[in-house]
Amino acid sequence: MSKSTTIEDFRNHKKKQTKFACLTAYDASLSALMSKAGVELILVGDSLGMVVQGHDSTIPVSMEDLLYHLRCVKKGNLGSHIMADMPFMSYATENLAYDNAMRLMQAGANSVKVEGGEWILKTTELLSQRGIPVCAHLGLTPQSINRLGGYYVQGRDLEDKNRILSEAKQLENAGAEIILLECVPASLAEEISSSLKIPTIGIGAGSATDGQIMVCYDAIGAYSWDDQPQPKFVKNFMNESNSIFEAFEKYVSEVKNLKFPSADNSF
């Protein structure tokens, strides 16, 4: 990838109805490979708490952890857009959100991601007015795992579905540049994507979102699901590849050609 990928590029994908591929990364080596393979957005996700640090949730991840991995990814990046997750409680008040979003942007992020609906409207508006592109994460929001009670599909009943749809619209009006939908029925993700002008990114949200994202280790089979069933939305692209680079290329190609996610990967 030669030039830096911007929010405008994601808007253009939506206008042209073409898809874009995103992956998480936490280090320089894999982020360089995925940039070269055509991954347009790299998320330095707080999933690092689970897949790098070995915790059972994302809650222990600190700002210092996120900043460390963001700097590593930035060094390897070859022109992908870098989105940084705001860790648990790092945007619990507007003042915290200002300070922490500033630190992430100064360390090399091109945008920040926050989890939540109505309660992050004001924060989204304030950050966006100050030039920080915000991605709002709806559906299954892992930082709320203790309230949700488990990693379950969200938006299945009418009330929950209407709430998520309404929050997506309000977040767009508040200035969000991207909405990320995790583990929601494909029909709901389709309705949200077609109702909004801003691009959507999905994980376990069917094929109608403008972009797709996956945890990079899931995409290359670097996990052990021995004690639990593999989530439906995970696909190991190493199965038909000879190298990690090829697996990333295959992921990008399948996202762009609408081969991934299939109905089997969706709810």
Q: Which among 115, 167, 172, 182 is annotated as catalytic? A: 182
Question: Least Å distance between CB 137 and ligand KIV?
Answer: 6
Question: Least Å distance between CB 24 and ligand KIV?
Answer: 4
**The one segment of 39-47, 171-179, 187-195, 232-240 that binds ligand KIV by CB under 6 A:** 39-47
Which of residues 69 and 103 has its CB atom nearest to ligand KIV in the complex? 69
Contact status: 255 vs ligand KIV (CB under 6 A)? no
Contact status: 120 vs ligand KIV (CB under 6 A)? no
Report how far residue 245's alpha carbon sits from residue 241's, in angstroms, rounded to the nearest whole number. 8
Q: Which residues pair with 182 in a beta bridge?
A: 139, 203
**The one segment of 38-46, 68-76, 188-196, 224-232 that binds ligand KIV by CB under 6 A:** 38-46
Which residues contact residue 155 at a Cβ distance below 8 angstroms, ignoring those fewer than 6 apart? 139, 161, 163, 164, 184, 185, 188
Report how far residue 94's alpha carbon sits from residue 147's, in angstroms, rounded to the nearest whole number. 22
Interaction pattern, residues 40-59, with ligand KIV; x per rule: CB under 6 A: ---x-xxx------------
Picking from 234, 225, 230, the residue whose alpha carbon sits closest to that of residue 265 is 234
Which of residues 174 and 219 has its CB atom nearest to ligand KIV in the complex? 219
Report how far residue 217's alpha carbon sits from residue 229's, in angstroms, rounded to the nearest whole number. 16
Question: Least Å distance between CB 224 and ligand KIV?
Answer: 18
Picking from 163, 167, 176, 172, the residue whose alpha carbon sits closest to that of residue 196 is 172
Question: Least Å distance between CB 173 and ligand KIV?
Answer: 23
Q: Which long-range contacts (CB under 8 A, 24 or more apart) does 223-229 make?
A: 223/51
Please return the burial class of 129, using the count of CB atoms within 10 Å of its CB with bins 0-12, 13-18 and 19+: exposed
Contact status: 77 vs ligand KIV (CB under 6 A)? no
Question: Least Å distance between CB 74 and ligand KIV?
Answer: 17
Contact status: 24 vs ligand KIV (CB under 6 A)? yes
Question: Which positions from 78 through 97 interact with ligand KIV, judged by CB under 6 A?
Answer: 85
Alpha helix (H) residue ranges in the chain = 7-16, 28-36, 48-51, 63-76, 94-106, 121-129, 145-148, 158-174, 186-195, 216-219, 244-256
The distance of Cα 49 from the centroid of its chain, to the nearest Å, equals 15
Contact status: 189 vs ligand KIV (CB under 6 A)? no
Contact status: 213 vs ligand KIV (CB under 6 A)? yes
Known active-site residue 249: no
Question: Which positions from 158 through 187 interact with ligand KIV, judged by CB under 6 A?
Answer: 180, 182
Q: Binders of ligand KIV: how many residues, by CB under 6 A?
A: 11
